[in-house]
Structure 1
Amino acid sequence: MKIGVFGGTFDPVHNGHINAFAETYIGLELDQVIIVPTFTSPLKKQAGSSDSHRLNMLKLAVENYDFAEIDTFEIDQQEVTYTFDTLKYLREKYPDDDLYFIIGTDHFISFDKWKNADKLHELAKFTVLDRNDELYNVKPPFIKLNTNIVEVSSTLIRERVKTNTEVRHLMPEEVYGYIKEQRLYET
C-alpha cells in the first residue's frame, strides 16, 4: 500500500489542511492518508487549544474522507515527538508499505534542521507540496508535487475568532460549529 503521512498542530484544522492531504492522495495515487496531530511542535509555540479539542475538531473534519485516518501517536507521548520517532513507529506498524511524508515548502527549506534529517529518507519518501511552482530546487530523494494549495492560516482563524470576525468559510462547517459551541479562541 501507498500511505501518506500528514502531521501538524491543527489548531484549528482548516480547508488548507484538508486540501493538502486530499490533493496528495489524488496526486500520488495513495491508498490511505494517516493524519498525525502533534502534541507540541518542536519548531512552534504550544497550541492554543487542548489536545482533546484539536483531536475532536480533526475527527469532525475528516469523518467524510474514508481514505483518511487519524493516528494519535504523538499526542499519546505527552512530550515533544520528532518526525524521526513518529516515522520509526509508523515503519514498525506498516513494515511492508510505502510511506510518503507530506510537507510544505516551508518545512522543506528547514529540513536540514530536523532531528536525524540524514536518516529520515530511510523511513519514508518526503513529498513537498509546491505552491504554484515556487522557486525551490526540490530534487530527489524529495518528491515534488505541484498542487493547487488553499492558503489558510490557523493563526488567522484564531485571531479572527478572538475579534469576532467571519471565519466560517475557512474551515469545514462541523469544525466551525465546534469552535462556536466550545467557545474556543475567544480570549
Structure 2
Amino acid sequence: MGGARQWRGARLTNFPRRGRPAPRPIGILGGTFDPVHVGHLRAAIELKSALDLAEVRLIPARLPPHRPQPRAGAEHRLAMLQRAVRGVAGLRVDARELSRAGPSYTVDTLGELRQELGQRPICLLLGADAFAGLTGWHRWQALFELAHLVVMQRPLSAGQAAPPLPAKLAQAIGGRLADSARALRGSCAGVVWRQALPPLDISATRVRALLGAGESARFLVADSCLRYIRHHRLYID
C-alpha cells in the first residue's frame, strides 16, 4: 500500500468523550481481488455485523509487495470490485492505492486514512496467514499506531491446533489482545482482536483455475463479475 503523503503520527485517544457516543469503527480490507469472490464479500459482511462497523472499505492493491503480481490489470480488478459491491449496504470500494506509484504498502494507506478520519477507530481486517507473516511487512510495527488489527479466524478441525506466531510478533502483541470486541471502540488504534468466521473455503486461485479450464465459477463470483470476466476474456490461459 507507496505513499504520496507522509504520515506524521497519531495521538491515541480514549473513547467515549464525555457526552458523546463512541464512534463506530471503519473496517479496511485490502487485497488484490484478482478476482473478487464471495469469500471476500461474505467476510466483509460478517465482520461489519459482528463488530458493528460503520462500513468496510475494500481497497485493491496496485502492486502487492508480498505476493505475485495480479493476473488482471488494475482497471479490470477495480471494475469487478465496484460491480460486486453495488447495492450492498455498508461495503465501499476505495481505489486510492491504484493511483499511487510504487508498492502498495498498508502502512502508507493507513497513514492517509488516519489523517482523513482523525481519531475515529480504524480496524485493519487480516486473514490469519497474513497476520502470522506481519513482521515481513513494511514498517509493520507502525501499524499498531494507526489501526486496530482484527484477525479473521476460521474454525480449526478436531485435534488441530493453531500454529504458533513468530516470537517477534508474539512479543509485539503482548498486552494488546482484547477481551472483547467492544475494545475496538475504546481507542482509535492499538488493539488486536481475533474474530471467528464461519468456514468458507474459496480462493481467487481456485476461481482463476476454474475460469482458465473453461469450467463454471457460478456462485463463487458475483454474476455481474462473471459477465465482466467473460466480456473481457480475463483469466483465460
TM-score, structure 1 normalization: 0.95
**Equivalent residue number for residue 87 of structure 1:** 110
Question: Aligned pair count?
Answer: 187
Per-residue deviation at 1:159?
1.5
Q: Which aligned pairs between 1:130-145 and structure 2 lie closer than 5 A? A: 130-133=153-156, 135=162, 140=177, 141-145=191-195
Show structure 1 runs of 5+ residues with no match. none
Per-residue deviation at 1:137?
6.2
Contact persistence 1:16–1:149 (CA under 8 A): no
Per-residue deviation at 1:136?
5.0
Q: Paired residue for 2:99, among 76, 92, 100?
A: 76
Q: Paired residue for 2:51, among 28, 38, 44?
A: 28
Q: Deviating runs (4+, > 3 A) in structure 1?
A: 136-139
CA distance in 2, matches of 1:15, 1:41: 21
SS of residue in 2 equivalent to 1:78: coil
Show structure 2 runs of 5+ residues with no match. 1-23, 166-172, 178-190
Change (3 A) 1:21 1:50: same
CA distance in 2, matches of 1:109, 1:174: 34
Stretch of structure 1 that moved more, 1-10 or 131-140 = 131-140
Per-residue deviation at 1:7?
0.2
Instruction: Verify: 1:100 aligned to 2:123, yes or no.
Output: yes
Instruction: Verify: 1:181 aligned to 2:208, yes or no.
Output: no
Per-residue deviation at 1:66?
2.2
CA distance in 2, matches of 1:28, 1:42: 28
CA distance in 1, matches of 2:45, 2:101: 28
**Equivalent residue number for residue 212 of structure 2:** 162
Per-residue deviation at 1:177?
1.2
Who wins on radius of gyration, i.e. which is larger? 2
CA distance in 2, matches of 1:137, 1:94: 34
**Equivalent residue number for residue 135 of structure 2:** 112
CA distance in 2, matches of 1:164, 1:145: 36
Per-residue deviation at 1:184?
0.7
CA distance in 1, matches of 2:143, 2:194: 17
Q: Note the alpha carbon deviations across 1:118-172, whole angstroms, 9 max, x for none.
A: 1111100000000115625686142000111422111111121111011112111
SS of residue in 2 equivalent to 1:93: helix
TM-score, structure 2 normalization: 0.75
Please state which structure has a larger fraction of its residues in strand: 1
Contact persistence 1:48–1:185 (CA under 8 A): yes
